[in-house]
Amino acid sequence: MTDILDPQDCQTMTEVRAGVDAVDRALVALLARRFGYMDAAARIKPTRDAVRDEARKADVKQKADAEARRLGVDPELVDRLYEDLVETSIAHEMVRWDGLRGDA
């Protein structure tokens, strides 16, 4: 098994791929946790109209933009990813909200 190195320490594509694979596993685990919070939101929000919250969406994207800038990640890339992530999260939460209330 290849040790996971920091990117700047990689000397081979095997090391790079091992690092990317490790990061991908961690990202999927974080997405699972994030969507667990969407499930909780669907359970807690009293009305279907409350699922889509444009002010919260803007807040989440602004925070992601600030973190991208702090870490030196392309903010336009992060904006595109977060637009998709938030819209997918809203769609997921809608399905869960409906399912919990028998409106599916």
Read off the pLDDT of residues 12-28 as tens digits, 9 standing for 90 and up. Answer: 999 999 999 999 999 99
Q: Which two tokens stand for residue 72?
A: 């030196």
Give the C-alpha separation, 31 to 4, whole Å.
21
Alpha carbon 36 to its chain centroid, in Å, reads 11
CB neighbour list of residue 7: distance below 8 Å, 6 or more residues apart? 16, 19
**Residue where the block lists tokens 């499930």:** 39
At 2, is the pLDDT very low, low, confident or very high (cuts 50, 70, 90)? low
For the cut 70, the answer to whether the pLDDT of residue 1 exceeds it is no
At 102, is the pLDDT very low, low, confident or very high (cuts 50, 70, 90)? confident
* 17 close to 25: Cβ distance less than 8 angstroms: no
- CATH annotation of 9-101: 1.20.59.10
